[in-house]
Amino acid sequence: MSSMGGRDLESGGTKNTSRAPPQAAAVSSSSSSYAYDPETHWTSWLVPMFVVANIAVFIVAMYINDCPKNNIGLQGNCVARFLGRFSFQPLRENPLLGPSSSTLRKMGGLEWDNVVNKHQAWRLVTCIWLHAGIIHLLANMLSLVFIGIRLEQQFGFVRIGIIYLVSGFGGSVLSTLFIRNNISVGASGALFGLLGAMLSELFTNWTIYSNKAMALITLLVIIVINLALGILPHVDNFAHIGGFLTGFLLGFILLPRPQFGWLEQRHLPAGVRLKSKYKAYQYVLWILSLLLLIAGLSIALVMLFRGENGYDHCHWCHYLTCVPTSKWKCNDT
């Protein structure tokens, strides 16, 4: 997700915090090592529709932004002026080639004051469809295509759509609990939810994987690298973490596969058929994940709308989203 505002680079320039998109080029390796694949493969249409919707919203944002009109006297600073009202804000204001922070705020960007004090809870959802710039948009949409299409083909549009949207919401809630002075936008929380769901899907379907160790190592490396990128300046890692945790729990709930032999047993005599579609540990993980998900989101929402600051309950959590160095400093508020 991207936040207009945030950590101040000592070198100056615009204050812009982005949810870094997951780098997903190798993510499909974990889903290619099943011992068997009994499930129907769906045609992916929802993920492409998500991509189209995000692009359409960005075009609308640039139309509303109208850089030449809203920067009278500074038209020469608008980037790609040949695009007319679709030209980008000056690079010193938005280096990601996109609209202004005021436009993002107007269109539903995530901001603590608007959500809590002005009761605009809808921003927890609308911010998922906004992007700070064309670079931010392209990076997120490429990641969504790499991750989402493969998952939708395996598990269908209903389950993957739920994981994407609820994870984006979970990322927005955690982000707003900790970040108060920034405007956050972006789909990265939802994308990290898909990564989290891939990890829990591997765990809950552990017995049907043929190359378990390699699948787990590959996925963990991808996740760790992408979460580590969140400690860089201008990146809202709380949205990443919130989306990842939400997706991780949803994976146990929505992505368990039948135990080996379940679908083939219709050809077997009744006396030798499996009694349960899923293994006992899958049911346990399903129940625990459902309880944790409900409790976690409920507690977080209560804290948020009571106006509580997440840092009051976790003083070290600022290190999860920003690690100060000689090149930049962090603003915990």
Please report the pLDDT score of residue 241 as a whole number.
95
pLDDT tens digits along 18-60 = 666 776 544 444 444 444 444 568 899 999 999 999 999 999 9
- Listed in sequence order, the residues at least 6 apart from 220 whose beta carbon sits closer than 8 Å to its beta carbon are 199
Alpha helices (runs of H) in the chain, residue ranges in sequence order: 46-65, 67-70, 101-106, 112-116, 123-126, 134-155, 157-178, 188-204, 212-228, 237-254, 280-305
Of 131, 136, 234, 240, which residue is the catalytic one? 240
**Which run of H or of E encompasses 16?**
strand 16-17
| Secondary structure of residue 328 in the 3-state scheme | strand
pLDDT tens digits along 70-91 = 876 554 589 988 998 999 999 8
pLDDT band at 314 (very low <50, low <70, confident <90, very high): confident
Nearest to 20 by CA among 239, 178, 270, 313: 239
pLDDT at 326 over 50: yes
> Mean pLDDT over residues 156-167, rounded?
97
Q: What share of the chain in percent tops pLDDT 90?
A: 53
How far are the Cα atoms of 1, 77, 78, 92 from residue 99, in angstroms, in the given order? 15, 13, 10, 12
Q: Please state which of the ranges 9-23, 141-155, 239-253 shows the lowest mean pLDDT.
A: 9-23
> Mean pLDDT over residues 177-204, rounded?
93
How far are the Cα atoms of 1, 89, 131, 166, 286 from residue 238, in angstroms, in the given order? 9, 26, 17, 15, 25
pLDDT band at 258 (very low <50, low <70, confident <90, very high): confident
pLDDT tens digits along 94-125 = 888 999 999 999 999 999 999 999 999 999 99
Average pLDDT, the chain: 83
143 torsion bin: left (phi>0), alpha (psi -120 to 50), beta (else): alpha
Q: Please state which of the ranges 24-28, 177-181, 251-255 shows the lowest mean pLDDT.
A: 24-28
The verdict on whether 234 is a catalytic residue reads: no
Distance CA 262, CA 38 (A): 9
174 torsion bin: left (phi>0), alpha (psi -120 to 50), beta (else): alpha
- Listed in sequence order, the residues at least 6 apart from 108 whose beta carbon sits closer than 8 Å to its beta carbon are 122, 123, 126, 127, 129, 130
Of 188, 200, 234, 289, which residue is the catalytic one? 188
Between residues 139 and 22, which one has the greater pLDDT? 139
Please report the pLDDT score of residue 121 as a whole number.
95
Q: Specify the amino acid at residue 108.
A: G
Please report the pLDDT score of residue 24 as a whole number.
52
- Listed in sequence order, the residues at least 6 apart from 9 whose beta carbon sits closer than 8 Å to its beta carbon are 233, 234, 327, 328
Q: Please state which of the ranges 29-38, 124-133, 249-258 shows the lowest mean pLDDT.
A: 29-38
The verdict on whether 240 is a catalytic residue reads: yes
Residues 110 and 184: beta-carbon distance below 8 Å: yes
How far are the Cα atoms of 8, 13, 114, 232, 241 from residue 325, in angstroms, in the given order? 12, 18, 32, 10, 22
Residues 100 and 89: beta-carbon distance below 8 Å: yes
Please report the pLDDT score of residue 331 as a whole number.
61
For 75-103, b/e burial (b = at least 16 CB within 10 A) is: eebbbeeeeeebbbbbeebbbbbbbbbeb
CATH of 45-257+278-319, one of 1.20.1250.20, 1.20.1540.10, 1.10.10.10, 3.30.365.10: 1.20.1540.10
- Listed in sequence order, the residues at least 6 apart from 206 whose beta carbon sits closer than 8 Å to its beta carbon are 212
User: What DSSP state is assigned to residue 310?
Assistant: G
Q: Quickly tell me which residue has 């190359």 as its tokens.
A: 211
Q: Both tokens of residue 83?
A: 């695009």
Q: Maximum distance among all alpha carbons in the chain?
A: 83
pLDDT at 310 over 70: yes
pLDDT band at 17 (very low <50, low <70, confident <90, very high): low
